[in-house]
A = this chain, B = another copy of it.
Amino acid sequence: MPIRLSQLFLRTLREDPADAEVNSHRLLVRAGYIRRAAPGVYTWLPLGLAVKAKIERVVREEMANAGAQEVFFPALLPREPFEATNRWTEYGDNLFRLQDRKKADYLLAPTHEEMFTLLVKDLYSSYKDLPVCLYQIQNKYRDEARPRAGLLRGREFVMKDAYSFDLTDEGLTASYRAQRDAYERIFTRLGVDYVIVKADAGAMGGSASEEFLSPSPIGEDTFVRSPGGYAANVEAVTTVAPEALPINGLPEAKVHPSPNTPTIETLVALANKDVPRTDGRLWNAGDTLKNVVLALTSPEGKRSLVVVGLPGDREVDAKRAEAAFSPNEVEPASEADFAANPELVKGYIGPVKNGQQVLGIKGSSKIRYLLDPRVVDGTAWITGANEDQKHVFDLVKGRDFDADGVVDIAEVRAGDPAPDGSGPLELARGIEIGHVFQLGRKYAEALGLQVLDENGKLVTVTMGSYGIGVTRLVAVLAEANNDEKGLIWPEAVSPADVYVVAAGKDDHVYAAAEQLVAQLESAGKTVIFDDRVKVSPGVKFGDAELIGVPNILIVGKGLEQGEVDLWNRRSGERRSVPLESAVAELVK
Contacts and interface: CB of A to CB of B under 8 A. Distances in A.
Interface string A75-90: 1111000000000000
Nearest to A93: B101
A9 interface: yes
A487 to B, nearest CB: 18
Contact of A123 (B9, B52, B72): B9
Contact of A98 (B77, B96, B134): B96
A108 interface: yes
Given A123-B11, A139-B139, A38 B71 contact: no
A146 B74 CA distance: 18
B101 A143 contact: yes
A132 B37 contact: no
A401 interface: no
A297 to B, nearest CB: 15
A64 B134 CA distance: 32
Contact of A71 (B43, B77, B98): B43
Interface in A457-512: none
A70 B49 contact: yes
B101 A37 contact: no
Copy number in the complex reads 2
A235 B70 CA distance: 41
A188 to B, nearest CB: 21
Nearest to A155: B76
A408 interface: no
A45 B74 CA distance: 12
A567 interface: no
B38 A106 contact: yes
A336 interface: no
B64 A1 contact: yes
Contacts of A97: 98
A67 interface: yes
A9 B131 CA distance: 11
Interface string A119-154: 100111000000010100001010101000000000
Given A64-B1, A122-B35, A43 B7 contact: no
Interface string A89-119: 0000100111011000010100000010001
A73 interface: yes
Interface residues of A, number: 51
B69 A96 contact: no
Contacts of A541: none
A70 B98 contact: no
Interface SS of A by simple majority: mixed
Nearest to A94: B101
Nearest to A144: B101
Given A38-B106, A143-B101, A96 B71 contact: no
Contacts of A32: 123
A537 interface: no
A166 interface: no
B122 A76 contact: no
Contact of A72 (B49, B74, B100): B49
Contacts of A115: 37, 43
A49 B138 CA distance: 13
A42 interface: yes
A41 interface: yes
A244 interface: no
A122 B93 CA distance: 32
B38 A101 contact: no
Contact of A9 (B8, B76, B134, B156): B134
A97 B100 CA distance: 8
A41 to B, nearest CB: 5
Contacts of A10: 123
A37 B78 contact: yes
A191 interface: no
A424 interface: no
Given A106-B38, A115-B37, A72 B96 contact: no
Given A38-B77, A74-B37, A132-B9, A101 B145 contact: yes
B71 A9 contact: yes
B69 A119 contact: no
A71 B52 CA distance: 11
19 contacts: A7-B67, A8-B69, A9-B132, A10-B123, A32-B123, A35-B122, A37-B77, A37-B78, A37-B115, A38-B76, A38-B78, A41-B77, A43-B119, A44-B72, A46-B71, A74-B156, A96-B100, A98-B98, A101-B143
- Nearest 8 Cβ contacts at the A-B interface: A98-B98, A44-B72, A11-B123, A93-B101, A38-B78, A41-B74, A9-B69, A76-B156
Given A9-B123, A45-B71, 6 more contacts: A35-B119, A37-B77, A37-B78, A41-B76, A42-B74, A100-B143
